[in-house]
């Protein structure tokens, strides 16, 4: 960085002081806005921006009103360390614009930052989340997640439309009000609603099967993305697959004989074509005629998938919701007569190249990638796809072995050097959410909670050392 005379009063010295304020801000551990403070809308040339008035940084710690990442602001310049710290927080939501030439003083790799108002990063921050299935979307589990160090929630919603008391048929798409209520309950616990993971089977089975209801179901998926965009839920994870996760069994091969998922050809059930009225191991039509869906070739699944993307990505771009595709788990090329996508790490490149958009990305299940036997290893895969900025969020878990014989284990006790992996995400500026999608259950009265708390604590500790 060039030497600047801070006393000269020149524009360069002003820019230097702003950068210095950013350096100071990074040493602050949190940001509190005293209740007497307020956000004031600016007018004139600054319309659409806000100023934090009566703000004195950390001087008032008695009134603890959290400044959450969901508070979206646009700030054009840095005035003091408090505002600088606010900018770092705002960046977590990718809602920061720089109307300033201070960036000229920043060395590579940040020379590609824009000074024309384009959304840019000031600091890359990995966020720690927790994935929850419908029965765990409760205030009690949210408190647990927050206590264990999570800041974001990834909601696995298949089954949510069939929950008791919903009052709507399962084939009706989740409503804006339903998603808003989920978001409100998460926010009340101090958490952000980061992503929805997986479409409801009843909402897209004919998209997968290219059936008569395809166009109607595609319209529902498009409305879902618009609703998510309206609520600020930034990622929609999914798995374009017919058999989904198939053939895994619960084994006790992790440390201390802890139970966790695994796959072995010897333990998997015999393969058979999928019955009509079923995809994703879920029956959506109990009255379907006898017979099977037949085989689905590699050519067919890729053609259907490309058509799906071509229609949906423009809506995702408009809504600012990233579509994130999960790799094949288990990573077998064919299951039950249906071809699978992304069974090797390098397959992700073919998938991402179909539609070159920021809003078409990977739901990067690092555990599944590590289970694969491909030309890339897991570290090269992280380097490649994080380096391209095409990872929306990460499933972080460790495994032992590769397909067709592997098992999941504790995050610090598998074949993958997880510290090395996290360093690679940081190296490439990954600023999305990382969740321990699975963890071995521990011997106690709350096996799942203990396993997740262990994984969250380990991730949180390692990330802290990277800063």
User: How many Cβ atoms sit within 10 Å of the Cβ of residue 379?
Assistant: 16
Query: What distance in Å separates the CA atoms of residue 451 and residue 145, rounded to the nearest whole number?
Result: 12
Asked whether residue 122 is domain-assigned, the answer is: no
Domain stops at, among 47, 79, 112: 112
Entry pTM: 0.76
Residue 85 sits in the same domain as residue 186: no
Together in a domain, 454 and 397: yes
Q: How confident is the model at residue 466 (pLDDT cuts 50, 70, 90)?
A: confident
Q: Is residue 120 part of a domain?
A: no
**Lowest mean pLDDT, pick from 108-112, 123-127, 160-164, 413-417:** 108-112
Residue 50 has φ and ψ, to the nearest 5°, of: -135, 155
Q: Are 418 and 462 in contact (CB under 8 A)?
A: yes
- Do 409 and 363 reside in the same domain of the chain? yes
Task: Indicate whether 107 and 140 sit together in one domain.
Answer: no
Do 59 and 203 belong to one domain?
Answer: no
- Final residue of a domain: which of 78, 112, 146? 112
Question: Taking 70 as the threshold, does the pLDDT of residue 233 lie above it?
Answer: yes
Is the same domain home to 175 and 76?
no
Burial of 63 (0-12, 13-18, 19+ CB in 10 A): exposed
Q: Is residue 2 part of a domain?
A: no
Is residue 117 included in any domain, yes or no? no
Q: Evaluate whether 204 touches 258 at the Cβ level (below 8 Å).
A: no
Q: Are residues 136 and 50 in the same domain?
A: no
Are 62 and 158 members of one domain? no
Whether 266 and 323 map to the same domain: the answer is yes
Mean pLDDT of 215-223: 98
Residues 382-398 have pLDDT tens digits of: 999 999 999 999 999 99
Same domain? 89 vs 152: no
Q: Is residue 119 part of a domain?
A: no
What is the rounded average pLDDT of the residues 167-180?
96
**Mean of the pLDDT values across residues 418-440?**
95
What was the pLDDT predicted at 379? Answer: 98
Same domain, residue pair 392 and 448: yes
**Residue 123: count of CB within 10 angstroms of its CB:** 16
Which is more confidently placed, 36 or 413? 413
State percent of the chain over pLDDT 90.
Answer: 72
Structural domain ending residue among the three candidates 49, 83, 112: 112
Q: Taking phi first (over 0 means left), then psi (-120 to 50 degrees means alpha), and beta for anything else, what does residue 44 get?
A: left
- Position 52 in a domain: yes
Of the candidates 35, 46, 26, the one whose C-alpha atom is nearest the C-alpha of residue 89 is: 26
Q: Hey, CA dihedral for 29, 31, 36, 42, is it positive or negative?
A: positive
Q: Which domain holds residue 75?
A: 11-112
The arithmetic mean of pLDDT across residues 18-23, rounded, is 52
pLDDT of residue 108: 37
CATH number of the domain bearing residue 301: 3.20.20.150
User: Across the chain, what does the average pLDDT equal?
Assistant: 83
Q: What pLDDT, on the 0 to 100 scale, is given for residue 375?
A: 95
Q: Determine if the peptide bond prior to 109 is cis (ω within 30°).
A: yes
Among 110-124, 251-265, 435-449, the minimum mean pLDDT is found in: 110-124
H-helix or E-strand spanning residue 283: strand 282-283
Q: How far apart are CA 454 and CA 444, in angstroms?
A: 13
The reply to whether 23 and 159 lie within a common domain is no
**Per the domain annotation, does 195 fall within a domain?**
yes
Confidence of residue 30 (pLDDT cuts 50, 70, 90): very low
Q: Is residue 163 part of a domain?
A: yes
Q: Which of 33-37, 397-401, 453-457 has the lowest mean pLDDT?
A: 33-37
Into how many domains does the chain fold? 2
At which residue do the structure tokens 């610090």 appear?
412
Contact 449, 409 (CB under 8 A): no
Identify the burial level of 211 via C-beta atoms within 10 angstroms of its C-beta, where 0-12 means exposed, 13-18 middle and 19 or more buried.
exposed
Structure tokens at 238: 């999914």
């Amino acid at each position: 960085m060039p030497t600047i005379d801070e006393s000269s009063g020149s524009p360069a010295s002003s820019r230097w002081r702003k950068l210095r304020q950013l350096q100071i801000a990074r040493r602050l551990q949190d940001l509190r806005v005293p209740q007497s403070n307020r956000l004031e809308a600016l007018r004139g040339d600054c319309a659409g921006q806000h100023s934090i008035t009566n703000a004195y940084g950390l001087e008032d710690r008695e009134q603890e009103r959290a400044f959450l990442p969901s508070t979206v602001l646009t700030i054009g310049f840095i005035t003091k360390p408090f505002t600088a710290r606010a900018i770092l927080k705002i960046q977590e939501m990718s809602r920061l614009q720089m109307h300033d030439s201070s960036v000229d003083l920043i060395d590579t790799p940040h020379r590609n930052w824009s000074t024309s108002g384009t959304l840019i990063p000031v600091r890359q921050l990995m966020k720690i989340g927790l994935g929850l299935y419908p029965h765990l979307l409760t205030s009690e589990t949210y408190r647990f997640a927050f206590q264990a160090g999570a800041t974001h929630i990834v909601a696995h919603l298949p089954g949510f439309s069939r929950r008791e008391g919903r009052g709507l048929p399962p084939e009706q798409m989740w409503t804006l009000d339903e998603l808003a209520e989920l978001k409100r309950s998460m926010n009340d616990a101090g958490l952000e609603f980061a992503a929805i993971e997986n479409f409801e089977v009843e909402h897209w089975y004919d998209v997968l099967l290219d059936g008569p209801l395809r166009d109607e179901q595609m319209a529902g998926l498009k409305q879902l993305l618009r609703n998510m965009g309206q609520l600020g839920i930034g990622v929609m994870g999914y798995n374009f697959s017919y058999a989904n996760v198939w053939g895994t069994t619960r084994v006790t091969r992790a440390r201390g004989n802890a139970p966790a998922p695994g796959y072995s050809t010897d333990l998997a059930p015999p393969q058979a074509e999928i019955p009509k009225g079923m995809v994703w191991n879920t029956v959506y039509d109990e009255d379907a005629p006898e017979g099977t869906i037949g085989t689905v070739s590699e050519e067919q699944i890729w053609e259907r998938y490309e058509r799906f993307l071509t229609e949906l990505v423009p809506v995702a771009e408009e809504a600012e919701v990233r579509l994130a595709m999960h790799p094949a788990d288990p990573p077998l090329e064919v299951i039950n007569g249906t071809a699978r996508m992304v069974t090797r790490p390098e397959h992700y490149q073919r998938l991402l190249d179909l539609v070159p958009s920021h809003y078409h990305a990977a739901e990067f299940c690092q555990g599944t990638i590590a289970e694969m036997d491909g030309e890339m290893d897991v570290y090269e895969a992280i380097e490649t796809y994080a380096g391209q900025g095409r990872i929306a969020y990460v499933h972080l878990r460790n495994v032992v072995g590769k397909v067709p014989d592997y098992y999941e284990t504790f995050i610090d006790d598998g074949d993958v050097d997880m510290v090395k992996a996290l360093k690679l995400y940081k190296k490439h500026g990954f600023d999305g959410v990382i969740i321990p999608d699975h963890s071995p259950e521990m011997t106690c009265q709350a096996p799942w909670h203990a396993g997740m708390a262990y994984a969250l604590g380990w991730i949180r500790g390692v990330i802290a050392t990277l800063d």
